[in-house]
């Protein structure tokens, strides 16, 4: 199983309408607080899909951002957020938040992890359904890292269809594989905030001219805390990651078709890349 932001995730998605037992409790808590009455056993269990109806509004901008590791999603996503007034949502961040908050689906994810089982796609989709019902998603949201397969795309479509919505745009940042190795292997991250640096293209202030990018020279600009490199940010791991990315992504792009899916050449200056992204999100 692949590990994303510290969580293992199954890639098999067995259902389209994602139903998680006990989600009705989350709806009750939202309405009545933690002390609200518990649902009766003879009542039909509420589907996590139904949670998306809360907070959904017509005309939301719903974007999916694709790109291989090192394509620049983390660089350009904040600009898209600012333009559209919509949050960027990554599956890893949502999983961590749901587990920390103790939501109904978050508890299921925590149980799976503590037992050594996979955090299934059903659970991940349920967490997405909870998250996009929040007020900050009233204008829409940007999904980063989901869906990864056609089955997941169909499940997402079903979630959105419950509120009469659909994905409005799919943007793929395209960079030749040969260019990505330099980008990936020089990448350093501040673990607590997610701030990203690059030893060559965007070095931290702590990396003085002439110094090698060793841990003692790589510190976050704001906190001075040490930066880290992901274990899979290596040339060997990159080959496998790119192979999996291309195998999974092409069918998803075909699923949404040319009317919604747009490719952006991200092997150019930031200004030129943003110009195409800006045009694709108008």
Q: Confidence class of residue 58 from pLDDT cuts 50, 70 and 90?
A: low
pLDDT at 233: 87
What's the pLDDT tens digit per position in 84-135? 999 999 888 888 888 888 888 888 888 888 887 777 888 888 888 889 999 9
| Catalytic residue selected from 187, 209, 214, 260 | 187
| Catalytic residue selected from 2, 200, 211, 230 | 230
pLDDT at 142: 96
- Among the residue ranges 47-56, 70-79, 103-112, 114-123, the one predicted with the least confidence is 47-56
What's the pLDDT tens digit per position in 154-203? 989 988 898 899 999 999 999 999 899 888 889 899 998 888 899 988 99
Q: Are 115 and 30 in contact (CB under 8 A)?
A: no
pLDDT of 12 > 70? The answer is no
pLDDT of 50 > 50? The answer is no
pLDDT at 106: 86
Does the annotation count 187 as an active-site position? yes
pLDDT of 28 > 60? The answer is no
| Catalytic residue selected from 60, 110, 131, 148 | 148
What's the pLDDT tens digit per position in 214-270? 999 999 999 999 999 988 888 888 888 899 899 988 899 999 999 999 999 999 999
Does the annotation count 268 as an active-site position? no
Average pLDDT over all residues of the chain? 80
What's the pLDDT tens digit per position in 158-171? 888 988 999 999 99
| Catalytic residue selected from 110, 131, 183, 241 | 241
Does the annotation count 131 as an active-site position? no
Does the annotation count 2 as an active-site position? no
Does the annotation count 3 as an active-site position? no
pLDDT at 188: 93
For the whole prediction, is pTM greater than 0.95?
Answer: no
């Amino acid at each position: 199983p692949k590990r994303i932001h510290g969580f293992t995730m199954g890639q098999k998605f067995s259902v389209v309408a994602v139903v998680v037992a006990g989600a009705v409790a989350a709806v009750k808590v939202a309405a009545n607080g933690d002390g609200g009455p518990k649902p009766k056993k003879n009542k039909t269990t509420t589907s996590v899909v139904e949670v998306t109806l809360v907070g959904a509004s017509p005309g939301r901008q719903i974007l999916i951002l694709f790109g291989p590791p090192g394509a620049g999603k983390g660089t350009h996503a904040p600009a898209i957020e600012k333009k559209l007034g919509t949050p960027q949502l990554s599956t890893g961040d949502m999983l961590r938040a749901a587990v920390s908050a103790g939501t109904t689906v978050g508890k299921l994810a925590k149980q799976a992890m503590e037992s050594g089982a996979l955090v299934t796609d059903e659970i991940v989709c349920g967490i997405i359904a909870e998250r996009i019902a929040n007020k900050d998603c009233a204008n829409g949201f940007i999904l980063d890292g989901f869906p990864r397969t056609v089955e997941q795309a169909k499940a997402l479509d079903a979630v959105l269809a419950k509120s009469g919505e659909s994905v409005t745009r799919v943007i793929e940042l395209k960079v030749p594989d040969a260019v990505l190795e330099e980008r990936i292997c020089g990448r350093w991250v501040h673990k607590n905030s997610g701030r990203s640096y690059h030893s060559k293209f965007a070095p931290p202030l702590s990396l003085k001219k002439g110094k090698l990018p060793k841990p003692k020279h790589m510190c976050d600009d704001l906190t001075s805390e040490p930066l880290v490199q992901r274990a899979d940010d290596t040339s060997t791991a990159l080959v496998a990651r790119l192979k999996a990315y291309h195998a999974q992504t092409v069918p998803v792009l075909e699923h949404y078709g040319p009317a919604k899916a747009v490719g952006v050449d991200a092997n150019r200056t930031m200004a030129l890349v943003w110009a195409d992204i800006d045009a694709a999100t108008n």
